[in-house]
């Protein structure tokens, strides 16, 4: 029988099963054993596995990332949890200069089986330092893997895959995806690294949505149906390694590519995807490209400006319409069934 779980429950179950499966898996981060248990994603783990395997940390992101790496070098498989991705800026030296480097720099003698869970915030005034999506920083550096699952199914399979990987993996969660529910098998399953998923087949445009924007792309696809535009929606799931084959194959069929990133555009994942697809297809077929993402400013907390800061299903649909028809005279009326479910405060 199909069983549905929330994204947070899927993450919790993946962690629990991985810990049961392998005593070298440990979990730490600020708040992992507190009553809120990182939005429930670490609920009950401290009780079940004890304080040596699940523990709260000092507010020392730099050292604790280094500790995670050191523990990984000694054969443990740490999962280091950050309730907001913005805090990773305090951990960059260890992630970039050590985790990403050691296997290559030491000629394959060392490896760092580390998972870093990092959450992206959105809405309800989280503002400048609680809403950043910095996955492209990590995509830039060889030696790191980056996964940003959208569905509870991929969250579970992707987290287990990340934990069992012998290399450092950034596991990126969006706070709004935490409320998503979908079918999640009870098995201890994995999804393949570097494999995208075609979510809906279409013929007029390839629509790639990253992290939470996958959800908005899926909604945009429904709006576009109203005006007879058939969008092929692709969830890359993994940003590094990136499944450019699946995306480029789709674009070679549709002739149009719109990448919607849950981030700024400059030097971002969307720039990378567009560049790789055009490099691949230039001289073979004509390709129209477009990128959407955060407005290139700091995220404002006030709701009127915050609303304008992010793409949404309607602005995505309008952008795609203009690509297909070369006209800018349509934006769908909001449908209740396709409304974004924003975070409701207060905290």
Partner 1 sequence: MSLPSLARESEKKQQEDADLYARLYRFLYLIRRVEEEIARVYPTDKIKSPVHLSIGQEAISVGVCAALRPDDIVFGTYRGHALYLAKGGDLNRMIAELYGKVTGCAKGKGGSMHLVDVQHGVMGTSAVVGTTIPNAVGYAYALKYRQDDSIVVSFFGDGATEEGVFYESLNFAMLKQLPIIFVCENNRYAIHSFQAARQSNTELVERVRAYGLQAERIEDGNVLEIYTRTNEAVQAIRASQSGPVFLECMTYRWREHVGPDEDFHLGYRRRSELEPWVRNDQVKRLARLAEPDLRLEIERGVESAIQRAFEFAEASPFPDASELYTDLFKES
Any contact of residue 211 with partner 1 (CB under 8 A)?
Answer: no
Cis before 278 (ω within 30): no
Alpha-helical (H) ranges within 242-341 are 244-254, 269-281, 303-309, 313-325
Compute how many residues bind partner 1; rule: CB under 8 A.
43
Beta strands in 42-134 (DSSP E): 54-55, 77-82, 115-120
Interface residue with partner 1, options 31, 87, 103, 200 (CB under 8 A): 103
Any contact of residue 66 with partner 1 (CB under 8 A)?
Answer: yes
In 3D, which of 206, 311, 326, 307 has the Cα closest to residue 265?
311
For partner 1, which stretch binds (CB under 8 A), given 65-73, 129-137, 195-203, 243-251? 65-73
Q: Considering the complex, state which of residue 29 and residue 209 has its C-beta at the smaller distance from partner 1.
A: 29
Site string for partner 1, 115-144 (x = CB under 8 A): ---------------------------xx-
Nearest-angstrom CA–CA distance, 136 and 139? 5
Q: Are 196 and 234 in contact (CB under 8 A)?
A: yes
- Tell me phi and psi for residue 57, to 5 degrees: -125, 160
| Overall residue count recorded for the chain in this entry | 347
In 3D, which of 200, 208, 310 has the Cα closest to residue 256?
208
Question: Could you say which residues in the range 72-101 bind partner 1, by CB under 8 A?
Answer: 72-76, 78, 93-94, 97-98
Measure CA of the first residue to CA of the last residue in the chain; give whole Å.
36
Q: Considering the complex, state which of residue 32 and residue 292 has its C-beta at the smaller distance from partner 1.
A: 32
- Catalytic sites, residue numbers: 61, 130
For partner 1, which stretch binds (CB under 8 A), given 102-110, 243-251, 282-290, 301-309? 102-110
In 3D, which of 309, 337, 343 has the Cα closest to residue 219?
337
Any contact of residue 165 with partner 1 (CB under 8 A)?
Answer: yes
Q: Whole-number minimum distance, CB 252 to partner 1, in Å?
A: 27
Q: Are 176 and 144 in contact (CB under 8 A)?
A: no
For partner 1, which stretch binds (CB under 8 A), given 31-39, 57-65, 323-331, 337-345? 57-65
Nearest-angstrom CA–CA distance, 310 and 215? 13
Any contact of residue 65 with partner 1 (CB under 8 A)?
Answer: yes
Q: Considering the complex, state which of residue 57 and residue 200 has its C-beta at the smaller distance from partner 1.
A: 57
Any contact of residue 190 with partner 1 (CB under 8 A)?
Answer: no
User: Interface with partner 1 by CB under 8 A: which residues?
Assistant: 26, 52-53, 57-58, 60, 62-76, 78, 93-94, 97-98, 102-111, 142-143, 145, 164-167
């Amino acid at each position: 029988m199909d069983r549905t779980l929330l994204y947070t429950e899927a993450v919790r179950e993946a962690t629990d099963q991985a810990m049961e499966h392998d005593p070298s898996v440990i979990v730490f981060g600020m708040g992992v054993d507190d009553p809120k248990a990182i939005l429930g994603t670490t609920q009950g783990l401290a009780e079940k596995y004890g304080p040596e395997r699940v523990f709260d940390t000092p507010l020392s992101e730099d050292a604790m990332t280094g500790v995670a790496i050191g523990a990984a070098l000694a054969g443990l498989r740490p999962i280091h949890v950050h309730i907001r991705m913005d805090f990773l800026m305090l951990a960059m030296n260890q992630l970039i200069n050590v985790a990403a480097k050691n296997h290559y720099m030491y000629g394959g003698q060392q490896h760092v089986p580390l998972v870093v869970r990092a959450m992206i915030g959105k809405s309800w005034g989280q503002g400048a330092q609680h809403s950043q999506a910095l996955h492209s920083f990590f995509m830039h550096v060889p030696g790191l893997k980056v996964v940003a699952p959208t569905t509870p199914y991929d969250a579970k399979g992707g987290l287990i895959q990340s934990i069992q990987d012998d290399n450092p993996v950034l596991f990126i969660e969006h706070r709004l995806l935490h409320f998503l529910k979908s079918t999640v098998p009870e098995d201890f399953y994995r999804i393949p690294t570097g494999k995208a998923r075609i979510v809906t087949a279409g013929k007029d445009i390839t629509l790639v949505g990253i992290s939470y924007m996958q959800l908005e792309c899926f909604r945009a696809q429904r709006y576009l149906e109203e005006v007879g535009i058939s969008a092929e929606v692709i969830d890359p799931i993994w940003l590094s390694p990136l499944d450019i084959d699946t995306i480029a194959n789709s674009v070679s069929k549709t002739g149009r590519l719109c990448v919607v990133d849950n981030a700024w555009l400059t030097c971002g994942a969307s720039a990378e995807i567009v560049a790789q697809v055009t490099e691949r297809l230039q001289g073979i077929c004509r390709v129209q490209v477009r990128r959407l993402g955060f407005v290139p400013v700091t995220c404002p907390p006030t709701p009127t400006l915050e609303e304008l800061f992010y793409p949404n299903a309607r602005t995505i649909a309008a952008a795609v319409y203009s690509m297909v028809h070369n006209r800018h005279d349509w934006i769908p009326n909001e449908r209740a069934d396709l409304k974004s479910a924003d975070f409701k405060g207060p905290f």
